[in-house]
A and B are shown apart, each in its own frame.
Chain A
């Protein structure tokens, strides 16, 4: 349950209490004592670590459309900062499952951190991040220039791949300026960097800078060409301790989760409305971003979690992380997966 709806519920309680028992009708009292949408006490409370990114929509759908409740869970979607923070949240039990960036996941695996599982991949949204330069028409011309990068994330791999495709080495042929989200836009706008790479919604802002030229997106990388996936898609991960304590219970949770993913795929318009309401944004702004999304259902996971897609991609991505000094080794990431939890 989102923070806002929790607050709303709390507010209802307060209002109901303030009205007093005498004034309240029997029906009102029921609303007052049980906040709207709150499940009966029998449901098991589970924390989902996420953020405001649309890739977390299945969790919101599962909560609001009742998939979790039907499976016996009271899920709270809680914001947990950046992806590395969410890995830590799973490890120390602050969250039971999460969606997080692949780079953070692979780095944790490279550090032999085994207290979490890699369950699957709920969506890809290629084309939502791109390399934008000001007044430079070709990637080759970036040699010796400065690129603003949100390092240690998918765009770091994307820019590495894009440069490699043009015969440049990110480590030696260009200067990298570190920045987060809107800082990338600021760095490029102020001219500190001649190019920048970031995801939506900042990617749009980058393209709006006068003279902006899109030099490539994650769809122009060899990773996309080979594995038809992003350079660092959103992963569903889970706390190992929680899963191992009761694998059947975990199986129930992920079935419910993937039901919500399926709902996302089948109800695009309703999803836009739900997201818009959830992140407090105009539907018109949500719609074009969501157009890039491809929801990957339970059925798809057999292909997604195979050498044809993510395993192949994770191998390449890990090698790049090692090459860039962000990870110490290429982990045996298959050891973190639990195909049995997704089986029929």
Chain B
């Protein structure tokens, strides 16, 4: 037995993973299980039988008002270590998730609408920012002059968290879809650009030399060698960028929309609906995982050579 083994057999890894998740659920269940019975005092209004004459503070009419006192009553209620609204039981949370998924109440769209809306916002923002950032990033990777010109601006933009764009976006663009697109765009753009520049710079110089040596023209060098060589790193950078998109869209959905997981989370926080907040968060994780799976599939299809192991000898 090694003290610090580098890896585990896959079966064991899977089992441990499942055990970890189950552990969290069991802990959750234990924390929210009503182990204790607590007696609480509630105060019931009881008319004393006395009547007083009062003036209505607004209309000024004279009213005969009954006088109330309270009678203390004890109620027993089941309590857990952690109680709503801090955290509901796993079962109730699941039930709330089901309600969110299936019941459309006026002004409150279903979970599916929220998920679709946020995903669409991210994908649209991604398409726009990638279609600007990738060509610009490649050009910056290829031309040091352009890189020197634009880099300081990128260094300024890069550290800005997407949420810091919300006020400016609202002043300039209001609080509609354009503002959301702008926030998602700004959050993704700098990262997409930097990943693309890095990917382009990192193309091994020997590949360029080899292509030149084999007689490739400037055009052929760009399209047949530089782009395909940079593509894997650009793609993996863009995958990270899509994940960044979620922080952006949640910031963007603080205001000006009823639809989207961000809207769901922010509004549910206001109404102390912890279950809905948790469900919204779980949806984000779920979609990010799904998107990652989907992009990996596309990658497998588009760049099959990245997924090969040495076979020949």
Contacts and interface: CB of A to CB of B under 8 A. Distances in A.
Q: Do chains A and B touch in the complex (CB under 8 A)?
A: yes
A293 B66 CA distance: 27
B35 to A, nearest CB: 18
B106 A303 contact: no
A134 interface: no
Given A111-B84, A339-B45, A340-B43, A177 B54 contact: no
B303 interface: no
Contacts of A171: 105-107
Interface of B: 40-45, 52, 54-59, 63, 65, 67-70, 84-85, 105-108, 170-171, 173-176, 179, 255-258, 263, 267, 269-273
A24 to B, nearest CB: 47
Contacts of A244: 41
B272 A88 contact: yes
A308 B45 contact: no
Given A108-B272, A178-B257, A340-B70, A186 B263 contact: no
B271 A192 contact: no
Interface stretch (A55-63, A66-74, A272-280, A320-328): A320-328
Interface string A102-145: 00000110011110000000001000000000000000000000
A180 B176 CA distance: 14
Contacts of B269: 84
Contacts of B54: 299-300, 302-303
Interface string A296-316: 100110111010100000000
A82 interface: yes
A148 B43 contact: no
Contact of A324 (B43, B67, B106, B173): B106
Contacts of B271: 84, 107, 152, 326-327
Interface residues of A, number: 54
B296 to A, nearest CB: 35
A176 interface: yes
A172 interface: yes
Contacts of B69: 339-340, 343
Contact of A179 (B44, B171, B175): B175
A249 interface: no
B266 to A, nearest CB: 8
Given A183-B175, A190-B175, A299-B54, 20 more contacts: A84-B271, A113-B85, A178-B263, A178-B267, A183-B255, A187-B175, A190-B176, A192-B175, A192-B179, A296-B57, A303-B56, A303-B63, A304-B57, A306-B65, A335-B43, A337-B43, A339-B69, A339-B70, A340-B70, A343-B69
B58 A228 contact: yes
27 contacts: A82-B270, A84-B270, A107-B271, A111-B272, A112-B84, A113-B85, A114-B42, A124-B58, A152-B271, A176-B107, A177-B175, A177-B258, A183-B170, A183-B255, A187-B256, A191-B174, A228-B59, A299-B54, A300-B54, A302-B67, A303-B55, A303-B63, A308-B56, A324-B108, A325-B105, A326-B271, A335-B42
Contacts of A302: 52, 54, 65, 67
Contacts of A170: 106-107
A225 to B, nearest CB: 11
Contacts of B179: 192
A193 to B, nearest CB: 8
Contacts of B63: 303, 308
Contact of A339 (B68, B256, B267, B272): B68
A169 interface: yes
Contacts of B263: 178
Given A179-B175, A308-B56, A152 B255 contact: no
B40 A338 contact: no
Given A303-B57, A308-B63, A324-B107, A337 B45 contact: yes
Contacts of B57: 294, 296, 300, 303-304
B180 to A, nearest CB: 11
A334 interface: yes
A325 B68 CA distance: 33
A338 B68 CA distance: 9
A294 B58 contact: yes
B107 A228 contact: no
A190 B173 contact: yes
Contacts of B256: 148, 177-179, 183, 187, 192
A170 B186 CA distance: 33
Interface string A184-206: 00110111100000000000000
A38 B283 CA distance: 52
A12 interface: no
Nearest to A171: B106
B45 A334 contact: yes
B106 A190 contact: no
Nearest to B56: A303
Contacts of A151: 258, 267, 270
Contacts of B59: 228
Interface centre among B52, B58, B105, B173 (most CB of A within 10 A): B58
A179 B56 contact: no
B50 to A, nearest CB: 10
Interface centre among B41, B56, B107 (most CB of A within 10 A): B107
Contacts of B56: 228, 303, 308
A229 B57 CA distance: 10
B107 to A, nearest CB: 4
A303 B65 contact: yes
A339 B70 CA distance: 7
Interface string A217-240: 000000000001100000000000
B272 A338 contact: no
Contacts of B108: 324-325
A88 B68 CA distance: 28
